[in-house]
A and B are shown apart, each in its own frame.
Chain A
């Protein structure tokens, strides 16, 4: 008797009881359901249900995760011995690097999924509905957008908060106003700022070594710019992702690869991705012009970030990751095509604005996306109303 049959029997046994949704979820996650509708009206037959959709997003995130594991180790060793940076490619894909990545990042993934799914299962059992698939992607995104040394209990607290307040209170998957993964990130940022910003948290073990002769640090590129310091990383490093940062967001190349996969499978909206980059580029360009016009000089604390070349803004920080994997969340984004352009553009625009002007933390992508999540329905409303007006005008002309 296979696993499928076992699960099916369990499902039949617990049918109608409170625990039923839990078994149903495992069953339909792994296999096609046994029940097929035979009679009645028209049925749409499509293979890409919510679970398959989620799985495709997870697949597009896997390269970032694996790269993040290598990078966690690489940044750790490179911070101790900076000569490793002279030949990055030879020193990057080593077992030592991967080992640190596995030890540090796999627990993050496990805690994120374990706690998040536990909350989902509890809510499904209390509310008596099927377990919703929404957390599959969130659980993968969360470990990728936190610093590598984030304590596991903090992540667990944040996940509970994010899933309950960000999603379940609104009615679960598909009803949430805010992106749950970003709610979790925002909670961590406001609750435990010492673990989420500064120059110590981005490199494994840097926090523990503070004050010892072995002290190491790894300022992010944005952090260096914000303090008007020189940046030691080349543009190539930034594009490839050999830089300190949150676990999975450093490699622009792999994020773009994921974006291509999402667009090809028609799951991510290319409109949002393109317009977010566009908005960021425009804002970056405006800031460049401000510096060029000598309105902001080197003595200003905004000089470093404002002077950052506009296309470099697209490579550093979490912008690319946010644009591709966060802004495109179909639930919280705008639904209309025109709305998607506006929504994405404003995310990019505001991201760079917050990045430059935020005195406490030189990054603003998650805040910008959360803000626009709130406005997405408003944008849609006006796009739809505009369309209605246009069409009404057309009918009037005809009747007249």
Chain B
């Protein structure tokens, strides 16, 4: 990364693995469970959060010296709310069906713990460029997990990926279904999302020696 200094690059890469918001900090779990039954919804959610978090971090960082600390939460909320409404309206205008699927969860990006967490922990104390990198990094870390979970849930639960019937047609019995395969209905239920996230955490912790806790 010639463009970025080593310190700046770490802002982007750390949240992808060692400091992942979902698997390590266990933030933003609610949306990870709710909307990951389809891969497309996961991707849109990931992009939306990236937009809100990246831009929001910059705005908060620009205002960091003029926000009175007593009312900083309210100011942060206004910033997130504005950005989320933009996302919501864009989705409604261009992807109406999808915004139906995501329903309330776009609005609930406001309460996504990761966003307020990054505002508080990073943007309030760092310059705009670094805050931007931090926001994008965390949003990507969040999005990667969402997309992995969404991939497995849609593939095993509905037998499709982004709506394409990759495993064959379950009604006409083509592809895998011809030999007796059936979709796993459990994958579409939220508890299974929790288990999939749990398995990702398990694999990550057993691979990464730095994360193994002493006890």
Q: Do A and B bind each other?
A: yes
Given contacts A151-B180, A169-B202, contact A191 B187 (CB under 8 A): yes
Shortest Cβ distance from B181 into A: residue: A153
Q: How far is the CA of A195 from the CA of B180 in the complex (A)?
A: 12
Interface residues of B in 151-207 (CB under 8 A from A): 180-182, 184-187, 189, 195, 198, 202
Q: How far is the CA of A192 from the CA of B185 in the complex (A)?
A: 6
- One digit per residue, 1 when the CB lies within 8 angstroms of any chain B CB and 0 when it does not, for chain A 130-157 equals 0000000000000000000001011001
A193 at the interface (CB under 8 A from B): yes
A187 at the interface (CB under 8 A from B): yes
The reply to whether B185 and A190 form a contact with Cβ atoms under 8 Å apart is yes
In the complex, what residues of B have CB within 8 A of residue A190's CB? 185-186, 189
The reply to whether B186 and A191 form a contact with Cβ atoms under 8 Å apart is yes
A interface secondary structure, majority? helix
The reply to whether B189 and A154 form a contact with Cβ atoms under 8 Å apart is no
Count of chain B residues with a beta carbon within 8 Å of a chain A beta carbon? 11
A165 at the interface (CB under 8 A from B): yes
- One digit per residue, 1 when the CB lies within 8 angstroms of any chain B CB and 0 when it does not, for chain A 313-352 equals 0000000000000000000000000000000000000000
Which interface residue of B184, B187, B189, B195 has the most chain A CB atoms within 10 A? B184
Given contacts A165-B195, A169-B202, contact A153 B185 (CB under 8 A): no
The reply to whether A191 and B184 form a contact with Cβ atoms under 8 Å apart is yes
- One digit per residue, 1 when the CB lies within 8 angstroms of any chain B CB and 0 when it does not, for chain A 178-206 equals 00000000010011111100000000000
In the complex, what residues of A have CB within 8 A of residue B186's CB? 187, 190-191
In the complex, what residues of B have CB within 8 A of residue A194's CB? 182
Q: How far is the CA of A11 from the CA of B182 in the complex (A)?
A: 42
Q: How far is the CB of A201 from chain B (nearest CB, A)?
A: 13
The reply to whether A191 and B185 form a contact with Cβ atoms under 8 Å apart is yes
Q: How far is the CA of A154 from the CA of B195 in the complex (A)?
A: 19
Q: How far is the CB of A184 from chain B (nearest CB, A)?
A: 12
In the complex, what residues of B have CB within 8 A of residue A187's CB? 186
Given contacts A169-B202, A190-B189, contact A153 B180 (CB under 8 A): yes
Which interface residue of B182, B187, B198 has the most chain A CB atoms within 10 A? B182
Shortest Cβ distance from A165 into B: residue: B195
In the complex, what residues of B have CB within 8 A of residue A154's CB? 182
In the complex, what residues of B have CB within 8 A of residue A192's CB? 182, 184-185
Q: How far is the CA of A207 from the CA of B202 in the complex (A)?
A: 39
Q: How far is the CA of A194 from the CA of B198 in the complex (A)?
A: 27
In the complex, what residues of A have CB within 8 A of residue B184's CB? 157, 191-192
Shortest Cβ distance from A157 into B: residue: B184
Q: How far is the CA of A195 from the CA of B184 in the complex (A)?
A: 11
Q: How far is the CA of A194 from the CA of B184 in the complex (A)?
A: 11
Q: How far is the CA of A153 from the CA of B202 in the complex (A)?
A: 25
Shortest Cβ distance from B187 into A: residue: A191
Given contacts A151-B180, A153-B180, A165-B195, contact A193 B202 (CB under 8 A): no
In the complex, what residues of B have CB within 8 A of residue A157's CB? 184
In the complex, what residues of A have CB within 8 A of residue B198's CB? 169
In the complex, what residues of B have CB within 8 A of residue A195's CB? 182
Q: How far is the CB of A119 from chain B (nearest CB, A)?
A: 14
Q: How far is the CA of A151 from the CA of B185 in the complex (A)?
A: 16
Shortest Cβ distance from A153 into B: residue: B180
Q: How far is the CB of B183 from chain A (nearest CB, A)?
A: 9
Shortest Cβ distance from A189 into B: residue: B186
Q: How far is the CA of A180 from the CA of B38 in the complex (A)?
A: 29
Q: How far is the CB of A325 from chain B (nearest CB, A)?
A: 24
Q: How far is the CB of A163 from chain B (nearest CB, A)?
A: 14
A-side residues, CB < 8 A to B, are: 151, 153-154, 157, 165, 169, 187, 190-195
A-B contact pairs, 22 of them (CB 8 A): A151-B180, A153-B180, A153-B181, A154-B182, A157-B184, A165-B195, A169-B198, A169-B202, A187-B186, A190-B185, A190-B186, A190-B189, A191-B184, A191-B185, A191-B186, A191-B187, A192-B182, A192-B184, A192-B185, A193-B185, A194-B182, A195-B182
Q: A153-B180, A190-B186 are known contacts; what are 7 more A-B pairs with Cβ within 8 Å? A: A151-B180, A169-B198, A187-B186, A191-B186, A192-B184, A192-B185, A195-B182
8 cross-chain pairs, A with B, having the tightest CB-CB distances, nearest first: A191-B186, A190-B186, A191-B184, A191-B185, A192-B182, A151-B180, A193-B185, A165-B195
